[in-house]
Structure 1
């Protein structure tokens, strides 16, 4: 059983892998497949953090946690706006790799801050409650199975509005994913297995 930090860091490394697959290839089909995978994972990861991790920061870390969560939500919103543009692009578009690099520029800084500051502080605040971090990791994984797999910046970054919008848009996203190309797959990834 992993901690919430381990689950988040695992997602971060996967996102970096998908990003590298896009920028290090000249094959448009390969880029499209991994660009779709990048979008799929980033959209679900962001909403999972906003529904599970940031409320926990606010609950267990007081005003410091609230400030950290609000800062992270603001960063997420900027990334979601760029992801919304990217997810509608074709890999044959000359700006395709430029756009994912623009996303990664913001995202990599956010990841660094999260891994160096936010997650260690959160884990420290959770120490007093045995298994809470592991329970949050389980909840994070389950949450990602039910959230949208595309960027919807207008849904916001705060529950309950984001939760309601997610429940409305996720089924549409998941059906549309069936028609998108993903790495080594002819149908969309199964959100309940990742």
Structure 2
């Protein structure tokens, strides 16, 4: 969840963790219950990552990057699509055809989003921000991930100010629910 380094290093490491979770889900046979556990961990990581980006990365893109508003809006729209799929995935069980379909749709959407960030957005941000600004953003992103929700809330606002106000409380409720149900426990 928190790795260290500047914002680009932090988020890129998150991307590799998500890639690994997709691979682990796909490697298991259809009805294996561990696929549900891995899907829950995938959901938790994607939600925390998205909230942190919406709170800190995209405001920086808007501020420092020419055409940053359009870039940030596109990335936030990608997040909204992924969050809707994650909400739908919550109600699916491994072995259900919908589960596999949603995992594949999610993987395709997340892979495209990650590719866009890593090949286009991150290099632009690295060119226009100082090393200190990128380090500061990395710290803020790590902090946001610690307090972010762990479950999809597609109806929740996705603006930085709303996330900063609502995400810690929603995150606390989500983490309590996770603790009570054992959801997302590491092996």
- State TM-score, norm by structure 2: 0.90
* Correspondence 1:175 to 2:176: yes
**Contact 1:148-1:174 at 8 Å conserved across structures:** yes
**What is residue 190 of structure 1 aligned with on the other side?**
none
Aligned residues: 182
> CA, structure 1 residues 74+149, in 2 after alignment: closer, same or farther (shift >3 Å)?
same
> CA, structure 1 residues 42+23, in 2 after alignment: closer, same or farther (shift >3 Å)?
same
Q: CA deviation at 1:17?
A: 0.5
Distance 2:153 2:166 in 1: 9
Matches within 5 A, 1:42-53: 42-53=46-57
* Correspondence 1:23 to 2:26: yes
**Contact 1:50-1:73 at 8 Å conserved across structures:** yes
Matches within 5 A, 1:152-167: 152-167=153-168
Runs of at least 5 residues in structure 2 that lack an aligned partner in the other structure: none
* Correspondence 1:122 to 2:119: no
Q: CA deviation at 1:29?
A: 2.2
**Contact 2:44-2:184 at 8 Å conserved across structures:** no
Task: Compute the RMSD of aligned alpha carbons.
Answer: 1.6
- State TM-score, norm by structure 1: 0.87
**What is residue 192 of structure 1 aligned with on the other side?**
none
Task: Select which of 52, 69, 72 maps to 1:69.
Answer: 72
Distance 1:71 1:24 in 2: 31
Q: Which of 106-115 and 80-89 deviates more?
A: 80-89
* Larger relative contact order (CA 8 Å, sep ≥ 6): 2
**What is residue 144 of structure 1 aligned with on the other side?**
145
Deviations 1:67-107 (CA, angstroms, capped at 9, x unpaired): 11111111111111111111232224332122111111111
Q: CA deviation at 1:163?
A: 2.7
Q: CA deviation at 1:184?
A: 4.2
* Correspondence 1:103 to 2:106: yes
Distance 1:98 1:74 in 2: 21
